[in-house]
């Protein structure tokens, strides 16, 4: 039997690594990606120890750079002619304002714009997988956060929050964008039989907190944290369960629907959000 193919970003550590390990155990072929060379090498060695020959590939890319996202998509297309799961899991929070080498604010670039570009570039492979797959089994899963619920919405005229930047708003904007992205994809890809969801993994005991501002760390140090496997559980469930394939555009936590930020339910917001994203991405040509 041909193995289903999963692309998992941010798989060099944390939730992404745990999800890659789980899907390999389910018999999937996994194309994992990461940014840090040392972490990628360590994760690849760990995963390869339990993978069968040809079951795992590990690619490096910094998804905060749109050019890297496009290159990554080309490398994936050289490895497979179809993708059954795209897990847009890579992300993080900066402790200060930074711009990428392409001139984009780092939070929105890494948490959302890079994944948006990668998704667009991989749609032909996802669409190629759908006709030969059971309905609803080809899926796009965006790792979001309950931070998506903490802001009133997104400024479509300033997705990067350049006029009033702070790290909390920047991170929450990217995570809300992940949920809006899944909702937009659900409507767009319904005719293709492709499902899209976003989820909040919970407060996971991972290296995420090594890069956050001191104020964020002071707050999160007092929170109970779940294990990496627990944090990855909903991602793996959304990728493999029959129930997750019966709907699209949802926002999930602990395998259950979770009420998203109210703006996610407004079609006009979705339309404006997509248009604003397309304008911003177009400023960084291939």
Active site residues: 171
d(CA 17, CA 248): 25
- Half-sphere exposure (Cβ direction) of 83: Cα atoms closer than 13 Å: 29
- DSSP 8-state secondary structure symbol assigned to residue 191: G
Alpha helices in the chain (DSSP H): 14-25, 37-48, 66-79, 106-108, 114-129, 167-189, 214-220, 228-240, 267-281
According to DSSP, the β-strands at 250-253 and 256-257 are antiparallel
- Provide the greatest CA pair distance for the chain: 53
**Tokens, residue 26:** 């389910």
d(CA 41, CA 59): 10
**Tokens, residue 243:** 């129930």
According to DSSP, the β-strands at 250-253 and 56-60 are unpaired
> How far is the CA of 54 from the CAs of 5, 28, 163, in angstroms?
11, 11, 48
**Tokens, residue 75:** 């490398």
Instruction: Report the chain's C-alpha Rg in angstroms.
Output: 17
Q: Calculate helix-pair angle for 267-281, 167-189, nearest 10 degrees.
A: 110
According to DSSP, the β-strands at 5-8 and 85-88 are parallel
């Amino acid at each position: 039997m041909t193995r289903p193919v999963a692309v998992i970003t941010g798989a060099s550590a944390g939730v992404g690594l745990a999800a890659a390990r789980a899907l390999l155990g389910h018999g999937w072929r996994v194309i994992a990606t990461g940014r840090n060379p040392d972490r990628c090498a360590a994760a690849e060695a760990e995963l390869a120890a339990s993978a069968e020959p040809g079951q795992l590939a590990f690619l490096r890319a910094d998804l905060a750079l749109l050019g890297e996202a496009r290159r990554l998509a080309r490398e994936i297309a050289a490895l497979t002619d179809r993708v059954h799961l795209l897990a847009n899991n890579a992300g993080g929070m900066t402790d200060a304002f930074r711009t990428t080498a392409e001139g984009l604010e780092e939070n929105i670039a890494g948490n959302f714009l890079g994944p948006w570009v990668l998704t667009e570039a991989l749609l032909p492979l996802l669409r190629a997988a759908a006709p030969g797959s059971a309905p609803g089994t080809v899926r796009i899963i965006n790792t979001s956060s309950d931070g998506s619920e903490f802001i009133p919405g997104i400024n479509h005229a300033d997705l990067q929050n350049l006029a009033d930047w702070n790290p909390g708003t920047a991170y929450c904007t990217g995570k809300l964008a992940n949920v809006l992205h899944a909702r937009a994809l659900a409507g767009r890809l319904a005719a293709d039989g492709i499902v899209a969801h976003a989820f909040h993994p919970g407060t996971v005991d991972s290296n995420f907190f090594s890069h956050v501002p001191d104020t964020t760390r002071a707050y999160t140090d007092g929170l109970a944290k779940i294990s990496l496997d627990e944090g990855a559980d909903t991602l793996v469930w959304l990728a493999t369960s029959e129930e997750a394939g019966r709907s699209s555009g949802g926002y999930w936590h602990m395998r259950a629907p979770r009420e998203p930020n109210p703006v996610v339910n407004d079609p006009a917001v979705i339309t404006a959000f997509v248009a604003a994203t397309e304008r911003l991405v177009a400023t960084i040509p291939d």
